[in-house]
Amino acid sequence: MTVVIEKPEQPERTEAVEPVAAAGRVRKVGRPAVVGAIIVVWLVLFALLRGRQTLSLAVADLTDLHRWINDLDDSIGANRNSNPVFLYFFNEIRLVIDNLVTFVQHLISQPSGARPVPEIGWLGVVGLAGYVSWAVGNWKVALLTVAGFTFFGLQGLWQQSMDTLALILCAVFVALLFAIPLGVWAGLSDRFNRIMTPFLDFMQTMPTFVYLAPLTLFFLIGGASGTIATVIYAAPPTIRITAHAIRNVSRTTVEAADSLGATSRQSLLKVLLPMSKRTVVMGVNQTIMAALAMVTIAALINAPGLGPVVLQALQSLDVGTAFNAGLAIVVMAIVLDRVTTAASVREEHARNARDRFAKWRRPLLGAGAVVALVLVYLSHTYVWAADFPGDGTVGTHIASAADSVTNWAQDSLSGVTNAFRDAITNGLLNPFQTLLTDSPWWVVGAVLVALAVVLGGWRSGVTTAVCVGLLVGTGVWSDAMTTLASTIVATVLVMVLGIVFGVWMGRSVMADRMIRPTLDAAQVMPPFVYLVPFLALFGATRFTAIVAAIVYGAPVAMKIIADGIRAVPETTVEAATSAGCNTWQIITKVQLPMSRSALTLATNQGLIYVLSMVVVGGLVGAGALGYDVVAGFSQSELYGKGLAAGLAIVLLGVMFDRITQAAARRASA
């Protein structure tokens, strides 16, 4: 009886278990498999529909949108001095900024039409710069500042360096007037912070190139437009970091101030801002670095300084001159970075100091102020202290040496560099670019939307669909796909380098100490400067822009991945080791999987950095959207196409940013 009763129940148990197992197997289909299926379908459609509906456009061809923008530009130019909006708003802003820049230039440099010598000559500028560096930092950064400013004169680039410094000072001053109050407001108000965050994301996603074209429409070309572009580009870091600093002040400290009867104003001025001072100064540091990067790029709209020297040298393939001016930009970046970094930690070091000479700091600073004022007087009174002595022999030698190294590299390393270039170009870039540009536009758009949904969710899919539709409307779809191909290939190589070196740095303290200073120095350099050495190695090709983009984007990816690897709990690694895992298994099975969010964030930042540099590569033959933007500045009939290309770059950046940010949130969930 027992057997007879149990046997009929056995099939029922099997039938009940099998659907559950089948359902479990369906649920286990992961995102990588779906991504693979999407790519397979794409390849099949590419093979069937290659060359159809690609929306290709010749270099000189214009769409109705491009012609409309050209007509708008002509109309604005014709009515600039009669239209009330321009007469009483845009023109007034340009006049104020232009007067500010001219005033600072008259102080420290010799703009055209000025008196034979500036108000404060080179000796006074060096003395003031050294004194300010000492006052806000320490004597070490003061010596660095004096050496750096003197080096500008020895290079024969004193005038250009001071023009660049004048633009930076004006842009940072105006940016901080808005950025710090907005940052404080965002730190105090959750609602305002939510409103500001999308705008800041958008502003920081846009490559530097993109800011220039729209501003010339309203403010013309010149120093004023360059300064305004720099203000807009450089303000977001201070806003974000100030808000972060205010929000991270201890709540108990604020509550204690409130309990003592402090008003909101007193709490802000006496508690929140003093306790946030170090972090806010770090935000100022980031704003200064962003300003230097934008000021050099603003050479495209006729902003003065070191940027035009580099730009003209790149366009004429004069590596020596470009290297000399690029070196001056790097030195200025290092000096400004070290001064602001020292300022952010000075008070903490002063509190911890046990130096017996600390009590003499104020008297010594007073004496230093007297010396600086004497140097200013001498430079204002005597020509020998106003005009930097010498004829720039050091700069000539630097340029000559750079040319010699370039010639040697081209003669001796051409076999290696050409082989490397051809391998990447023919093995990765050309096939992927062909897949993007020769597929029907609607196939590529559908693939991008599908990948966005799979990787980032339906909101990323909607954003991508909107961006794809707008990209089609810009009339530069083919160039956008070419830029997309270069960006993705460069990002893949950035992530390869990021994972290799990031894992090494995360696992080895010694490796981190050796590599991190180099990464810090690399992140200080403006994008312009990266093009110079690779122009010498690879010539004026799109591959030059890709390699420069890899070197530009790799440091941030390495740092993020290293921090992610280091954040993996030591107990987890020890457990894997005790279970018999070797080093390779620990890295691939434990540390990298547990660092998924860091990997995704590194991809996000790498993409944004790479896109910015790939577009700048339009100056050295990279073509596509970067070339369209540059051509729009130089040829009035292509202005509309250049502005549309700038919009396309923004759309690519927004699309990349939203997909990778959403993927990062999913990975960390």
Kindly give the parts of the chain with pLDDT less than 70. Answer: 1-29, 58-60, 110-117, 346-359, 621, 667-669
What is the sign, positive or negative, of the torsion defined by CA atoms of 312, 313, 317, 322? negative
Q: Spell out the residues 6+ positions from residue 562 whose beta carbon is closer than 8 angstroms to its own.
A: 501, 502, 503, 505, 506, 512
CA distance 106 to 88: 26
pLDDT at res. 414: 79
Alpha helices for 189-304 (secondary structure H) = 190-205, 208-219, 223-247, 251-259, 264-267, 273-297
CA pair distance 243, 241, nearest whole angstrom: 5
Max Cα distance, the chain (Å): 120
Decide if 568 contacts 595 (C-beta within 8 A). yes
CA distance 377 to 245: 41
Report the predicted TM-score, pTM, of the whole model to 2 decimal places.
0.80
Task: Pick the closest to residue 161 from 400, 398, 339, 325 (CA basis).
Answer: 325
Q: What share of the chain is helix, strand, coil (3-state, %, to 5)?
A: 85, 0, 15
User: Would you state the pLDDT for residue 495?
Assistant: 93
Contacts with 178 (C-beta within 8 Å, 6 or more apart), sequence order: 231, 235
pLDDT of residue 28: 56
Q: Which of 386, 335, 73 is nearest to 221 (CA)?
A: 73
- pLDDT, position 229: 87
Q: What confidence score (pLDDT) does residue 667 get?
A: 66
CB neighbourhood size of 7 (10 A): 9
Q: Is 373 exposed, middle or buried (0-12, 13-18, 19+ CB in 10 A)?
A: middle
How confident is the model at residue 311, as a pLDDT? 84
As a whole number of angstroms, the distance between CA 328 and CA 399 comes to: 12
pLDDT of amino acid 147: 94
CA gap 88, 493 in Å, rounded: 50
State the DSSP H helix or E strand holding residue 583, giving kind and residue range, or none if neither.
Answer: helix 583-586
